[in-house]
Amino acid sequence: MKHALIPVLATILLAACSRTQDPLAELQQAGARTLSGQPLARQLPARPLLVNYWASWCAPCREEIPALNRLHQRYGQQIQFVGVALDQPAAIRTFMQRIPLNYPVITGDSLEIGKIMHSQGNTSKGIPYTALYDGEGRLLFSQQGPVSAAALAPELDKALGK
Amino acid sequence: MQTLILFCRSALLMLLLAAGAYASTSGSNLLPPEEAFIPSARLIDARHITVQWQIADGYYLYRDRISIQHNGQTLAAEFPPGKVKDDPYFGRTTTYSHQLALTASSPASLTPQDRITVNFQGCADAGVCYPPQSATLTLDGSDGSKLGRLLGARPAGSATESTFVRDELWLTLGLFFLAGLGLSLTACLYPLIPIISAIILGQQGISRWRATALTFSYIQGMALSYTAAGLLAAASGTLLVVAFQQPWVIAVFAGFFVVMALAMFGAFELQLPSSLQSRIQSLSQRLPGGHFGSVFLMGVLSALLVGPCMAPPLAAALAYIGQSGNLLQGGLSLYSLALGMGAPLLLIGFFGGTILPRLSGRMMNGIRKVFGVILLGVALWVSQPLWLRYLPAPHSTASAGRFVTVTTPQQLDSEIAASKGQPLLIDFYADWCISCIEMERNTFPDPQVQQALQPYRLLRVDVTGNDAAARELLQRYGLFGPPAILFITRDGQQQDKRLIGFLPPDGFIAALPGTPEP
């Protein structure tokens, strides 16, 4: 348990020092954890972060997962991908048995996560919601509704300064 | 006829939307979930409730993700048939658009003051889904259905309803202020402009700042009245909502809208009688401190003058406050609303005549006529509970002809007396009850249902008007509202069996209390 706390504290500290709040740290402060109950560390040195809010009950969310998997294959080394599920852990596991996600997923209390998502700019709280941040937690791009690989790839390139 | 009414409703809605277009603030064109899905609940009898959702166009709810709880216990619910979607992941799923009304039954006895929790989850056709929503509803229907009945639908231009679920005071106050601003763009404040002109701008040789200060004082007076209304609403609880449903209150509102409309068409000039004007002037000269006192007083009275015009959005606001029962928040909310309404008047006070006459006479006349038409529409809409039942029965299906409609206890008694020797089916019905209309459309016209109903004499108790007679009728059978179906045996005894809520044809036939002996 102690070990589990260290990365969280590190992220929180990191976030407290930087000017903008790190979106991943914010989510973990609200109790979001991986399916095994572990916190998810922000990869260092801080690289761009792609956050995709989804749920297994959300048909449009499911449809974009393959595209995100493909993008993760291409960009996963330079950009940290995180799926944030507003869902029950059991439902997520069942879903991932059929359609695995290539990147880590965190989940928690849907209401709390919904609040964070709202504060991060998704005012209508509808999902899927995809947001791309730079290494310092500044929002570069966000989209509500399904994203295609073709639309997202140029944004990821831009985040990498390409 | 049903289609005609529907058409009228949508036409009126369009008109109102047009009127409220100024006030629309949403940046994203996607509604937040609390506006896309508006639940309300109402007690039918001690063990049954009907839960309704108003679902915005282009949005839908999942049947499997709806649950209703009372004291932590999940209630059994009966769902109407919905639209079946083939979901590649979940298989066949049932969804509902536009409206959903379902009946839930509770093992424990319920009262109108009880609260239930409803959980639901839905999506927009645009390819976006919402996280599961949860709402706590009071069973007296004050959360939406009664308002919905009075207003037809959510009033355009009032941001207040969507905020009802939140309790952050500042947010509430801010939204009430915005709602006030929105309201000031409607025709309702027009009658105040001549008053402002007369008592403030009419004064010769006063400075711009003094005029602004006077207008401010006037707005404070107006705000005082609204604050008082807010406090009253908070203190009276949901009683107020019930008051708003009295036919005579509705009639007064509707009448006021018609008068306002006539004024807009130029039938007469809306302004204070000159005797009153001069009295105010002489009063203000006698009052110490110059005009401020009298202007303040005028503000208090003006709120009463425009109050009825503001009725529908105000009803929504007051009902919310009444429900929360929080005096401080109630008073402050309506104070913010009044400040919002008064803000544009301040501009008029400051700039005076310079901003008003910029519109050409012809244009102003055109605008006034448009507002006149909108006001007539509102009058028609608000008064719906009064005239709807005098239309030839809105259900032209064959079954309707077989129902004998009664609206008073006396009529019901004489009908019951007249049908001795034949079993009776008594259907409690109202035009604003979605489940009743679903029964009317889907269940009663079914040939097999017709067959099963052959032995019965069919009575319909129409409680659309919600007047004293309707309430007495409901009370007599321990009902809080429609839909409900009772059975009376051939020798005049009421059977224990009663049907609550929507039933599809086969369910209805199965639920009939045994075939009555011929």
Residue A101 makes CB contacts below 8 A (sequence gap 6+) with A65, A68, A69, A83
Sheet holding B484-488, edge to edge: B403-406, B457-462, B424-429, B484-488, B494-500
Read off the pLDDT band of B255 (50, 70, 90).
confident
Q: What residues of chain A, 138 to 157, have a C-beta less than 8 Å from chain B?
A: 144-146
**Number of compact structural domains in chain B:** 3
In a domain, B23, yes or no: no
Q: Would the CB atoms of B128 and A127 count as touching at under 8 Å?
A: yes
Q: Would the CB atoms of B30 and A126 count as touching at under 8 Å?
A: yes
| Backbone φ and ψ of B97, nearest 5° | -120, 170
Same domain, B347 and B316: yes
Minimum Cα–Cα distance from B126: chain A residue = A145
Task: Tell me which chain B residues have a C-beta less than 8 angstroms from the C-beta of A95.
Answer: 89
Same domain, B317 and B195: yes
pLDDT at A4 over 50: no
Task: Tell me which chain A residues have a C-beta less than 8 angstroms from the C-beta of B58.
Answer: none
In a domain, B518, yes or no: no
Nearest CA distance, A61 vs chain B (angstrom): 8
Same domain, B217 and B332: yes
Same domain, B421 and B326: no
Q: Is B155 left (phi over 0), alpha (psi -120 to 50) or beta?
A: beta
Minimum Cα–Cα distance from A56: chain B residue = B89
The pLDDT assigned to A154 comes to 93
CB B10 within 8 A of CB B442: no
In a domain, B146, yes or no: no
The pLDDT assigned to B396 comes to 45
Same domain, B206 and B306: yes
Chosen from A116, A124, A142, A144 to mutate, greatest number of chain B CBs within 10 A: A124
The pLDDT assigned to B278 comes to 63
DSSP B140: B
pLDDT at B466 over 90: no
Domain extent at residue B500: 395-511
B128: nearest CB among A111, A114, A126: A126
Same domain, B258 and B235: yes
CATH number at residue B488: 3.40.30.10
The pLDDT assigned to B451 comes to 85
Same domain, B336 and B238: yes
The answer to which of A28-37, A108-117, B3-12, B167-176 has the lowest mean pLDDT is B3-12
Sign of dihedral through CA atoms A2, A5, A10, A13? negative
A127 vs B: CB within 8 A:
yes
Say whether the ipTM exceeds 0.95.
no
Nearest CA distance, B121 vs chain A (angstrom): 9
pLDDT tens-place string over residues B507-518 = 888 888 765 444
Estimate to the nearest angstrom the gap between the alpha carbon of A77 and the chain centroid: 15
Q: How far apart are CA B483 and CA B488, in angstroms?
A: 17
Task: Tell me which chain A residues have a C-beta less than 8 angstroms from the C-beta of B31.
Answer: 124
Q: How far apart are CA B129 and CA B513, in angstroms?
A: 43
Q: Where are the domains of chain A?
A: 2-159
Same domain, B188 and B290: yes
Using the 3D structure, point to which of B387, B412, B428 is the last residue of a domain. Answer: B387
Nearest Cα neighbor of B29 from A152, A145, A86, A116 is: A145
A44 vs B: CB within 8 A:
no
Same domain, B133 and B200: no
Read off the pLDDT band of A50 (50, 70, 90).
very high
The pLDDT assigned to B292 comes to 73
Mean pLDDT of B485-503: 81
Task: Tell me which chain A residues have a C-beta less than 8 angstroms from the C-beta of B62.
Answer: 57
pLDDT at A28 over 80: yes
DSSP string, B103-126: EEE-SS---TT-EEEEEE-EEETT
B129: nearest CB among A111, A123, A127: A127
Same domain, B441 and B340: no
Percent of chain A's residues with pLDDT above 90: 40
Chosen from A57, A117, A143 to mutate, greatest number of chain B CBs within 10 A: A57
Mean pLDDT of B456-473: 83
Q: Which tokens hold the place of B358?
A: 């910029």
DSSP string, B185-197: TSGGGTTHHHHHI
Task: Tell me which chain B residues have a C-beta less than 8 angstroms from the C-beta of A58.
Answer: 123, 129
Task: Tell me which chain A residues have a C-beta less than 8 angstroms from the C-beta of B28.
Answer: 123-124, 144
Using the 3D structure, point to which of B366, B387, B408 is the last residue of a domain. Answer: B387
Using the 3D structure, point to which of B327, B357, B387 is the last residue of a domain. Answer: B387
Q: Would the CB atoms of A55 and B126 count as touching at under 8 Å?
A: no
Q: How far apart are CA B445 and CA B453, in angstroms?
A: 11
Sign of dihedral through CA atoms B282, B285, B286, B290? positive
Read off the pLDDT band of B118 (50, 70, 90).
very high
Same domain, B462 and B363: no
In a domain, B9, yes or no: no
In a domain, B14, yes or no: no
Q: Would the CB atoms of A126 and B87 count as touching at under 8 Å?
A: no
The answer to which of A71-75, A129-133, B375-379 has the lowest mean pLDDT is B375-379
CATH class of A2-159: alpha beta
First to last CA, chain B: 36
Mean pLDDT of B356-367: 60
pLDDT tens-place string over residues B296-314 = 877 777 776 665 555 555 6
Q: Give the count of Cβ contacts less than 8 A between chain A and B.
A: 64
Q: How far apart are CA B97 and CA B246, in angstroms?
A: 31
The answer to which of B212-216, B302-306, B413-417 has the lowest mean pLDDT is B302-306
Same domain, B318 and B199: yes
